[in-house]
Amino acid sequence: MADVLRRAESFPTFTETPEEVAFELRAHEGALWTGGRLLVGIWSFAFAALAFAYFYLRSANNGDLWRPASVTAPTATGAAIMALSLGSVFLVWLGFRRFRRGMVIDWEVAGWIAVLGGLCVVGLQIWELTQLPFFPGSSGYASCFIAWAGTNIAFVLAALYWLETSLAREVRLRRAAAEDGGTSASQLPNARMLRMSVDACTTFWVFLAIVEFFFWILFYVL
């Protein structure tokens, strides 16, 4: 046993230089930036597939079964879902601008209101599925709408989870970062990672607004 300890003590001790630590932090920030944009790309493929199915079935209209009797999902509920979604996204975007200027409390307030708005969106989307004037699979429009509704619920929940965890992380970091300029300016590794995560999260929410508006036009206006 003593021989093993002597051998262990003879091994050199490896320590990271400040340059290596700084490089690792920049690499981590770059990974978060890239990962956030890749996540947008992944969801884009899912919605692109849904849009393709919508336009293909609409143009084919086999047996006039694309949209019999021009049925549509409840337009009032759809408008409320879109309005709440766009309002929540606007709050996230506005809060992020405040966050970058050092007004972290404004970002927190806007973020928690956006979380509440997103939960309302999910609730309305689920309730709407119980009020549809058609059955799933009764037409091409019905099939596409059901697929959209399910995907939209998962999409909004993913955005809510990301935003809520970012807000919770800021609360935990607030005291540690207070002596270093606050969360929006601190050079602590955790604060830097949080800022990059919030940036990517905001981009994801802006993408959500684009998707919501596009499919609202498809299913409720056209």
| Contacts for 138 with CB less than 8 Å, ≥ 6 apart | 68
Asked whether residue 18 is assigned to any structural domain, the reply reads: no
Q: Does some domain include residue 194? A: yes
Tell me the per-residue pLDDT of 7-47, one tens digit each, with 9 for 90 and over. Answer: 545 545 556 676 666 677 777 778 878 888 898 999 999 99
CATH of the domain at 88: 1.20.120.80
Token pair of 50 as six digits: 């849904």
Structural domain that includes position 116? 39-55+74-221
User: Could you tell me if residue 201 is inside a domain?
Assistant: yes
Considering the domain boundaries, does residue 136 fall inside one?
A: yes
- The structural domain count of the chain equals 1
pLDDT tens string 81-129:
999 999 999 999 999 999 988 888 999 999 999 999 999 999 999 999 9
pLDDT in tens, 173-222: 877 777 777 777 777 777 788 888 899 999 999 999 999 999 999 999 88
- Answer left, alpha or beta for residue 103, where phi above 0 means left and psi between -120 and 50 means alpha: beta
Q: Is residue 104 part of a domain?
A: yes
Query: Has this prediction a pTM greater than 0.95?
Result: no
Residue 10 inside a domain? The answer is no
Alpha carbon 91 to its chain centroid, in Å, reads 14
Domain contains 188: yes
